[in-house]
Structure 1
Amino acid sequence: MAEREASKIVQKARELRTKRVREARDEAKKEIDAYRKAKEEEFKKFEAEHTKGNKQAEDEANKEADGKIKEIQASGKKNQADVVADLLRGVLDVKPVPPSAE
Structure 2
Amino acid sequence: MEVIKEFVKLSGGKDDDVSILLASWEDKITDIKPTDTGLVDKVEGRVLSLYVYRGGMCILLHKPTGLYLLLYALTSLELSTIMYVVEREIRPDQDFVSLVYEYLDLKDKGRLGKL
TM-score, normalised by the number of residues in structure 2: 0.15
Higher RCO (C-alpha under 8 Å, 6+ residues apart): 2
Q: More strand by proportion, 1 or 2?
A: 2
Bigger Rg over Cα: 1
Q: More helix by proportion, 1 or 2?
A: 1
TM-score, normalised by the number of residues in structure 1: 0.17
